[in-house]
Amino acid sequence: MSETLSYFRQDRLPHIWCPGCGHGTITGALVRAINRLGLDKNKIMLVSGIGCSSRAVGYLDFDTLHTAHGRALAFATGLKVARPDLKVIVMTGDGDCTAIGGNHFIHAARRNIDITTIVMNNNIYGMTSGQYSPMTPKGMLATTAPYGNSERDFDLAELAKAAGATYVARGTSFHVPMLIDLIEQALQHKGFAVVEALSQCPTYMGRKNKIGSAVDMLEWIKGRTVNAKAAAALPPDKVQGKLLIGELHKSSQPEYCDEYFKATAKVRRAWKNIDGGLRGCEQNSD
């Protein structure tokens, strides 16, 4: 316990999340995975966007960057290219990542840049009190879908895979040991790694849809999911309409920073002054 706590800025606690929220469980899973791998606190840069999920970074004892709505991956890309030797982790939510940040998400995946992205998917905009997101299931209620959501939701794992992510997994705040394992795998993966973590929002998603308490919501999440390994052996009707959880995609592809530094290696050491001999002034800072 104390080892896990050492990754927290304990003076920043308690957190702002509502009672019963799943985001603390997911944050805990990330910290446990980091702890298991024994990663150096000083070599992790943790980035988030805006929303309930993105408040997580303020409680964790790394260099932490709470950015603007949807932009976490774009900031993280700058950090990673500037310091490819450091571990970059993004904590984001379903609205942050797939609506306003959707473009940055698919391009980070396409580049296969070495960033671990944890998407806390509670199927709702929680911070603004319950509007539907691109991951609100069709037909469910939200304050901006009072007659039921007319839009289809994303399958984030399929989206990530199609866009080029080389590690894709889905876990939940119910299946915690599995979630820790998946995040651990993602952190060890070289390339763009996505872990979608289904999370419960009893306050807005649960109440609006009369799902019940936090515990009821965890049951609801459990009921929506099937283990990807077990799914192969199950009859189709048991899998139909369910979300697969576990490791869903893994491949080994060239990583963006490696490729960029490889492509530019030839000129990197043999630079000549740019038409004027201005570079190399001693005052230059690094």
List of residues contacting other proteins (CB under 8 A): 9, 12, 41-43, 45, 47, 57-58, 61-68, 71, 74-83, 85-86, 103-104, 107, 260, 264, 267-268, 270-272, 274-281, 283-286
- Is the CB of residue 112 less than 8 Å from the CB of residue 166? yes
User: Closest approach of Cβ 212 to other proteins, in Å?
Assistant: 32
User: Closest approach of Cβ 192 to other proteins, in Å?
Assistant: 14
Taking the least distance from each CB to other proteins, the nearer of 111 and 170 is 111
User: Closest approach of Cβ 249 to other proteins, in Å?
Assistant: 22
User: Closest approach of Cβ 199 to other proteins, in Å?
Assistant: 22
Cα–Cα nearest to 186, from 160, 204, 205: 160
Taking the least distance from each CB to other proteins, the nearer of 54 and 225 is 54
User: Closest approach of Cβ 259 to other proteins, in Å?
Assistant: 12
Taking the least distance from each CB to other proteins, the nearer of 9 and 229 is 9
Q: Three-class SS string for the chain?
A: CHHHHCCECHHHCCCCCCCCCCHHHHHHHHHHHHHHHCCCHHHEEEEECCCCHHHHHHHECCEEEECCCCCHHHHHHHHHHHCCCCEEEEEEEHHHHHHHCHHHHHHHHHHCCCEEEEEEECCCECCCCCECCCCCCCCCCECCECCCCCCCCCCHHHHHHHHCCCEEEEEECCCHHHHHHHHHHHHHCCCCEEEEEECCCHHHHHHHCCCCCHHHHHHHHHHHEEEHHHHCCCCHHHHCCCEEEEEEEECCCCCHHHHHHHHCHHHHHCCCCCCCCCCCCCCCCC
User: Closest approach of Cβ 55 to other proteins, in Å?
Assistant: 9
User: Closest approach of Cβ 101 to other proteins, in Å?
Assistant: 10
Taking the least distance from each CB to other proteins, the nearer of 12 and 138 is 12
Taking the least distance from each CB to other proteins, the nearer of 83 and 190 is 83
Taking the least distance from each CB to other proteins, the nearer of 146 and 277 is 277
Taking the least distance from each CB to other proteins, the nearer of 150 and 284 is 284
